[in-house]
Amino acid sequence: MPLVPMRALLDHAAENGYGVAAFNVNNMEQIQAIMAAAVKTESPVIIQASRGARSYSQDNYLRHLMLAAAELHPQIPLAMHLDHGNSPATCFSAIEQGFTSVMMDGSLQEDGKTPSSFEHNVKVTKEVVERAHAAGVTVEGEIGCLGGVEDGHGAGGDPMAHLTDPAQAEQFAAETGVDAVAVAIGTSHGAYKFKKKPTGEVLKMSIIAEIHRRLPETHLVMHGSSSVPKELIDIINAYGGKMPATFGVPVEEIQEGIRNGVRKINVDTDNRLAITGAIRKVFFEKPEEFDPRSYMKPAREAMQAVCEARMIAFGQAGFAPKVPKVSLEEMARRYHRLGR
Ligand SMILES: [Zn+2]
């Protein structure tokens, strides 16, 4: 199966009440780990690359790796998504490179750091929606700003400073026609999200419920949603690492989000932790090893285990054979018919 528009996956997830993990990648082993997990759990899946990943691995390598994944596993509905595009130009170049979905993060200015105005956000997002939908490509926007910084992108600082306003989210969706919207509910990018286990005071699930009530047709996205499991930090530290104690978003909280309309959940940090722990373990236990495969293989397996666990927890497992096959061309015709 060719790469599919992300909208097709999210629509099916909404109809069936589940969430879809969107895993970040930079290299072949990460893509292989995700696909192995998707095959084993029969999951539809979103693979995403940030601007940092695109410059690290180069679009041509990424595109061909993704096409290889689709060719090897035609039974898995697979969308290729740009994470945090900072400008329409970034999104357009991704579409030219074969991405079937893009995020236009107009919540920040083009520098990827400074919170922008609502008007700026609507303007750039709308521009991307017009061009993307004509090609059948899905668009995710962001309203409100997440805390933290990932791959050089993010407002940083206090995640409670720019929470999403549900009324503004409603206006944003109406004015732009976006397919999905990332909401800021107190989560942060990166490993260091919370100093203690988050509760209702720091994680505003009520905002998600209210946005979903106002926008039942727009898919909600949770960023900064790695769970940062203690077991993975412990492995890193047991083999020479020095990571301080930290808490992510508990899987149960994400499941609560899914019950309230969240359809895409971004996971990156957990996979980074799994890979690093596995590599450290080999280096520590077998210091004489120098074949990269001796540590990349266990790293890939460790990431696969995290992906499988998330796919099962988010409810996407088992749905791969049931997602309707929608091509970019068909999706473009649908947008045209609906006039958006
Ligand atoms: Zn993000």
Q: What is the pLDDT of residue 9?
A: 98
Query: 96-100: which pairs have CB atoms within 8 A and are 24 or more residues apart?
Result: 97/59, 97/60, 97/62, 97/63, 98/3, 98/63, 98/66, 98/67, 99/49, 99/137, 100/3, 100/4, 100/5, 100/6, 100/136, 100/137, 100/138, 100/328
Domain hosting 124: range is: 6-338
Q: What is the DSSP string of 296-334?
A: HHHHHHHHHHHHHHHHHHHT-TT-GGGS----HHHHHHH
Region 164-172 average pLDDT: 93
Tens-place pLDDT, residues 129-150 = 999 999 999 999 999 877 666 6
Q: For the chain, give the percent of residues with pLDDT over 70.
A: 94
Distance 331 CA to ligand 1 centre (A): 25
Residue 39: pLDDT over 80: yes
Query: 156-159: which pairs have CB atoms within 8 A and are 24 or more residues apart?
Result: 156/113, 159/184, 159/186, 159/187, 159/188, 159/193, 159/224
Distance 29 CA to ligand 1 centre (A): 22
Region 300-328 average pLDDT: 97
CA 284 centroid distance within chain: 32
- Give Cβ neighbours of residue 321 (< 8 Å, ≥ 6 apart): 42, 75
- What distance in Å separates the CA atoms of residue 285 and residue 263, rounded to the nearest whole number? 41
- Give Cβ neighbours of residue 133 (< 8 Å, ≥ 6 apart): 139, 177, 332, 335, 340
Distance 209 CA to ligand 1 centre (A): 20
Q: What is the pLDDT of residue 316?
A: 98
- Answer whether residue 39 is part of any domain: yes
- Answer whether residue 263 is part of any domain: yes
Q: What is the pLDDT of residue 197?
A: 77
R_g (Cα) of the chain, nearest Å: 19
Distance 282 CA to ligand 1 centre (A): 31
Q: What is the pLDDT of residue 157?
A: 65
Q: Could you tell me which residue, 178 or 150, shows the higher pLDDT?
A: 178
Q: What is the pLDDT of residue 273?
A: 97
Q: What is the pLDDT of residue 105?
A: 95
- Answer whether residue 66 is part of any domain: yes
Residue 192: pLDDT over 80: no
- pLDDT level of residue 270 (50, 70, 90 thresholds): very high
- What distance in Å separates the CA atoms of residue 156 and residue 183, rounded to the nearest whole number? 16
- Which H or E run includes 236? helix 230-238
- Which is the catalytic residue, given 83, 179, 268, 270? 83
Exposed, middle or buried, 290 (CB in 10 Å: 0-12/13-18/19+)? exposed
Distance 288 CA to ligand 1 centre (A): 39
Q: What is the pLDDT of residue 162?
A: 76
Distance 291 CA to ligand 1 centre (A): 34
Distance 129 CA to ligand 1 centre (A): 19
- What distance in Å separates the CA atoms of residue 143 and residue 173, rounded to the nearest whole number? 9
Tens-place pLDDT, residues 276-307 = 999 999 999 999 999 999 999 999 999 999 99
CATH number at residue 282: 3.20.20.70
Q: What is the pLDDT of residue 340?
A: 72
CA nearest to 134, candidates 164, 165, 91, 74? 91
Q: What is the pLDDT of residue 112?
A: 87
Known catalytic residue at 105: no
Q: What is the pLDDT of residue 185?
A: 86
- What distance in Å separates the CA atoms of residue 263 and residue 9, rounded to the nearest whole number? 9
Distance 193 CA to ligand 1 centre (A): 13
Backbone angles phi, psi at 5, to 5 degrees: -65, 140
Q: What is the pLDDT of residue 191?
A: 75
Q: What is the mean pLDDT of the chain?
A: 93
Most confident option among 6-15, 114-123, 160-169, 180-189: 6-15
- How many folded domains does the chain comprise? 1
Distance 290 CA to ligand 1 centre (A): 35
Measured from the Cβ of residue 33, the count of other Cβ atoms closer than 10 Å reads 25
Distance 152 CA to ligand 1 centre (A): 11
- What distance in Å separates the CA atoms of residue 69 and residue 28, rounded to the nearest whole number? 10
Q: Could you tell me which residue, 239 or 190, shows the higher pLDDT?
A: 239
Residue 243: pLDDT over 90: yes
As residues whose CB is below 5 A from the ion ligand 1, the structure lists 223
Q: For the chain, give the percent of residues with pLDDT over 90.
A: 81
Exposed, middle or buried, 23 (CB in 10 Å: 0-12/13-18/19+)? buried
Residue 151: pLDDT over 90: no
- pLDDT level of residue 161 (50, 70, 90 thresholds): low
- Give Cβ neighbours of residue 251 (< 8 Å, ≥ 6 apart): 227, 310, 313
- pLDDT level of residue 152 (50, 70, 90 thresholds): low
Distance 84 CA to ligand 1 centre (A): 6
- Answer whether residue 1 is part of any domain: no
Q: Residue 304 corresponds to which amino acid? A: Q
- Answer whether residue 45 is part of any domain: yes
- Which H or E run includes 172? helix 166-176
- Answer whether residue 154 is part of any domain: yes
Q: What is the pLDDT of residue 287?
A: 97
